[in-house]
Structure 1
Amino acid sequence: MKTTTSKYDSVSLSKTFHPYTLHLLLPIALLPIVLLCLYLYPLYLTKSQAKEHHYANVSPPPPSHSVNDIHKVDDPSCDYFNGKWIHDKTGPLYNGTTCVTIKESHNCITHGRPDSNYLYYRWKPTQCNLPRFEPNTFLQLSKNKHISFVGDSIARNQFDSLLCMLSSLSKPRPVHHKGSRWWHFESHNATLSVYWSPFLVQGNERSKLGSSLNTIHLDRVNGKWEKDMDGMDLILLSFGNWFNVPSVYYENGSVLGCLNCSGYGLNHTEVGFYVPLRKALRASLNRIIERRVGKKNEIGVIVRTFSPSHFDGDWDKAGTCSKKEPYENGEKEIGEMESEIRRIEIEEVENAKVKAKEFEGVRFEVLDVTELASLRPDGHPGAYMNPFPFENGVPERVQNDCVHWCLPGAIDTWNEILLEMMRKWDLEGQEWSEL
């Protein structure tokens, strides 16, 4: 029997055949194009893009509070120090009740502070967004390095904040070191230290002397940190508060003058504290530059600007800081004293940059926290510097701390900016991660 094929059968056959043929031939046709793309792709990667890709693989950032929280690390127009505080429901970066390195008087949560709104604000720079802190990125940039905080109790406050932020990823080991506190992250061979040196230069606090006057030698850098300077890769200098109390200042072995000493039977010239503060900072920065001669390792130096206090009234006359939310921009001006200290610090860093041009391997920058800190009167321990101060009712007089910062809290932002400064240096070719 003869079999015939109708035109309808031909159409049906073609519908089956042609798609199957294309399915086989299309990958073969596209293969040269795919190979060409794979060959050319690496040529489009710049150094900065490659490093940002590295950071992304090392530690994916936590979810942001906003879908618009996009940040280009090497954007030169980004000014982290000009902005405003915005409410952020994400909350703190670490658990204040479990971080064991927090100084008790700064642990507001465990001391019973009842309000928690101060934990839910985030600094928003005007020109960009500040990424949340990435512990792994910080430790990668700190690998085989020694990062040291030198200064007063605010320096320790920031140091403790950083330890808590990093401890969420890697537990540090305390290292015994006379005259300072050292912590070592064995996972990255990174060391963090803090040196108590409230004047930066050599001096004695009045409390240790059993006196009402500090004695400060403006031309002698404090040997506690000066002797270890050569082993430091990044130094953060933090001071100012101790200069605003009665003091006698020495220079070249003789008395330069004093601050508020007329009531102590001394016949010294009153010189205020701005000039002595400038001299102390200049001596410290000059000494760092001098010690770089002949050294191979690079060093970064960051000066943290003055952090304002928020006492309603005098600190020694029952002053308090009871405000429960940040100031709006323009609501409260930075004080004259705070502005002048900040100006001196920035000027001296700029002077040091000029001097350092004669040498290689030293870099100076400013961590300008004055404005962003001035807007956070709610961030201090206040009465909760002591545990449960109102447990037995409201006492007649309650001591308040309106200088230091609750942990976790607003001061964590300083370390977020610090990380971005380190990351920028690395992207600019300072080779932090390769020293």
Structure 2
Amino acid sequence: MATSFLQKYQLQNHQLLLPKKQCVTYALYALIALAFLHYLLFYPASASGKSVVVAQVQEQVAAVASARVDAREQLLPPAPPPPFNQGDEALRNPQAKEEVPAPPPCDYSDGEWVPDARPPLYNGTSCGTIKDGQNCMAHGRPDTGYLYWRWRPRRCELPPFSPEALLRWLRNKHLGFVGDSLARNQAESLLCLLASRSAPELVHRDGEGNASRRFVFREFNATVSVFWSPFLVKVIEKSEHAGVGARRHNNVFLDAFDERWMSQLGDLDAAVLSVGHWFLIPGVYHDAGKVVACHGCEELNHTETDFFGVFKDAIHRTLAEVIRRQQHGHGEKKKKEKVVAVTTFSPAHFEGDWDKAGACPKKRPYRNGEKGLGYTESEMRKTVVEAVRAAGEAAGSGLRFVALDVTNLANLRPDGHPGPYMSKDPFAGGEAGERRVQNDCVHWCMPGPVDTFNEILLQTILR
């Protein structure tokens, strides 16, 4: 519509110009004649005089022609402006580019699991860092459908994991996973994903069952460490074996930090913290020399409390201590930029007794709306998200906090746990029936849904 209007407007003005154009032409001819007559009457007929007159006549003709052009341009409508170009605007106004709002970060927590025929980057035999209990392939799990799903966010894309991209970022850097066995599960998933591009070398191990380990990718001078710290703060863990003097509760000290990993914080370029399930285990919580909470301790002379308050306290205090140590660091430790990611609570999927066949029997993901989050999962997730937000507001430059919000996507994957295949060939003697068999419906098969945690971690780090 605007184009037809401009065409009609220009046509009308062109028609109006025709008479004026003729008038200007006639005026030009008249002036030329007068100039020639002036020459005949007042100048001698010499060659030099004629040359001067000719030059004067040419100047007068040029002046008239210029006046004619000016008159015509005044009658023409102005030319329409060129189409707007953001690049041109940026050249005219250097601040224009900064004023354009950046797209919001992707909300990876909101989405659905969709079928995906692509095979995983590794398997149960190609990666030597898988903990035995999560190696579902090697332990004989017969179904493989749990391998062929991918998480699809609703409002953005989650690219497949790129070992090359993370290794490039990790060159000359140190990434540490800190927390409980689910932190280790995620760390081993990342090591296997990266091993599809470059083989890791184990250079250090420590603790019971080698709970803390360090790997180096020599080609990139990249380091990945796993630190065992199931509460992030200091703890005296309960005894695994019963007997006289055995500790049946974890003793957790909220006002002291686990220096097994906290003392290494200055050397880390990125840390992934993941805790939660150990707070559900019976424990006694201390602060400033007093017992402030007790969970699952009916036989002790303490008031029973829930674990939500102490979980929140431990998370907030830990992130505040990270900020304090970053601000009070010295030399290179203070200068080093750091990303601290906190993985939200990963729900379990027990549908029966933990030591009976069929504890987590599902063979496919839940559909959206088929299973919502329970109260415990919602509160644990909420605590982490709010703590990360508060820490991000309090942190100074050089320190970035992010939440790896995996609670919803993990909740929809009851099919991704080892179940009875935490042990090799659990039914080698025949079908289980009523036979007791240990099940793992907490940790994740590898490969499996836990690999998606690291797809999100990669995009979060690169963002």
Range class of TM-score, shorter chain = 0.7 to 0.9
Correspondence list, 1:22-421, <5 A: 76-179=104-207, 180-207=212-239, 210-262=246-298, 264=299, 266-293=300-327, 294=329, 295-315=334-354, 320-356=359-395, 359-395=396-432, 396-421=435-460
Q: Secondary structure at the match of 2:364?
A: coil
Contact 2:356 2:438 in 1 (8 A): no
**CA displacement at 1:213 relative to structure 2:** 0.9
Contact 1:220 1:283 in 2 (8 A): no
CA distance in structure 1 between the partners assigned to 2:149 and 2:339 by the alignment = 30
Question: 2:294 is matched by which residue type in structure 1?
Answer: C
Q: Secondary structure at the match of 2:460?
A: helix
Question: 1:421 is matched by which residue type in structure 2?
Answer: T
**CA displacement at 1:163 relative to structure 2:** 0.5
Contact 1:325 1:376 in 2 (8 A): yes
CA distance in structure 1 between the partners assigned to 2:265 and 2:113 by the alignment = 36
1:232-269 residue CA offsets vs partner (Å, 9 max, x unmatched): 1111110000000111000012211201212x2x2212
CA distance in structure 2 between the partners assigned to 1:317 and 1:156 by the alignment = 26
**CA displacement at 1:271 relative to structure 2:** 2.2
CA distance in structure 1 between the partners assigned to 2:174 and 2:252 by the alignment = 28
CA distance in structure 2 between the partners assigned to 1:415 and 1:226 by the alignment = 23
Question: 1:345 is matched by which residue type in structure 2?
Answer: V
1:3-29 residue CA offsets vs partner (Å, 9 max, x unmatched): xxxxxxxxxxxxxxxxxxxxxxxxxxx
Contact 1:221 1:283 in 2 (8 A): no
Gaps spanning 5+ residues in structure 1: where?
A: 1-39, 45-73, 425-435
CA distance in structure 2 between the partners assigned to 1:128 and 1:257 by the alignment = 42
Question: 2:139 is matched by which residue type in structure 1?
Answer: H
Instruction: Name the TM-score, length of structure 1 as normaliser.
Output: 0.78
1:180-235 residue CA offsets vs partner (Å, 9 max, x unmatched): 20001111111000101001100022135832211100121111001111101111
% identity of equivalent residues: 51
CA distance in structure 1 between the partners assigned to 2:168 and 2:356 by the alignment = 47
Q: Secondary structure at the match of 2:335?
A: coil
CA distance in structure 2 between the partners assigned to 1:226 and 1:244 by the alignment = 23
CA distance in structure 2 between the partners assigned to 1:372 and 1:250 by the alignment = 34
CA distance in structure 1 between the partners assigned to 2:381 and 2:162 by the alignment = 28
**CA displacement at 1:304 relative to structure 2:** 0.3
Q: Aligned in 2, Cα 1:117/1:318: closer, same or farther, shift over 3 Å? A: closer
Contact 1:312 1:321 in 2 (8 A): yes
Q: Aligned in 2, Cα 1:317/1:111: closer, same or farther, shift over 3 Å? A: closer
Question: 1:378 is matched by which residue type in structure 2?
Answer: D
Question: Which is greater in Rg?
Answer: 2
Question: 1:287 is matched by which residue type in structure 2?
Answer: E
CA distance in structure 2 between the partners assigned to 1:393 and 1:327 by the alignment = 29
Question: 1:96 is matched by which residue type in structure 2?
Answer: G
Contact 2:283 2:296 in 1 (8 A): yes
**Aligned match of 2:32:** none
**CA displacement at 1:313 relative to structure 2:** 2.4
CA distance in structure 2 between the partners assigned to 1:124 and 1:257 by the alignment = 41
Question: 1:290 is matched by which residue type in structure 2?
Answer: R
1:10-51 residue CA offsets vs partner (Å, 9 max, x unmatched): xxxxxxxxxxxxxxxxxxxxxxxxxxxxxx9xx99xxxxxxx
CA distance in structure 2 between the partners assigned to 1:125 and 1:353 by the alignment = 24
Instruction: Name the TM-score, length of structure 2 as normaliser.
Output: 0.73
**CA displacement at 1:109 relative to structure 2:** 0.5
Q: Aligned in 2, Cα 1:139/1:75: closer, same or farther, shift over 3 Å? A: farther
CA distance in structure 1 between the partners assigned to 2:431 and 2:205 by the alignment = 42
Contact 1:91 1:119 in 2 (8 A): yes
Higher RCO, 1 or 2 (CA under 8 Å, sep at least 6)?
Answer: 1
Q: Secondary structure at the match of 2:239?
A: helix
Q: Aligned in 2, Cα 1:233/1:208: closer, same or farther, shift over 3 Å? A: farther
**CA displacement at 1:177 relative to structure 2:** 4.9
Question: 2:173 is matched by which residue type in structure 1?
Answer: K
**CA displacement at 1:374 relative to structure 2:** 0.3
- RMSD over aligned CA atoms reads 1.8
CA distance in structure 2 between the partners assigned to 1:422 and 1:107 by the alignment = 27
Q: Secondary structure at the match of 1:207?
A: coil
Question: 2:223 is matched by which residue type in structure 1?
Answer: T
Q: Secondary structure at the match of 1:309?
A: coil
**Aligned match of 1:20:** none
1:134-159 residue CA offsets vs partner (Å, 9 max, x unmatched): 11110111111110000000000000
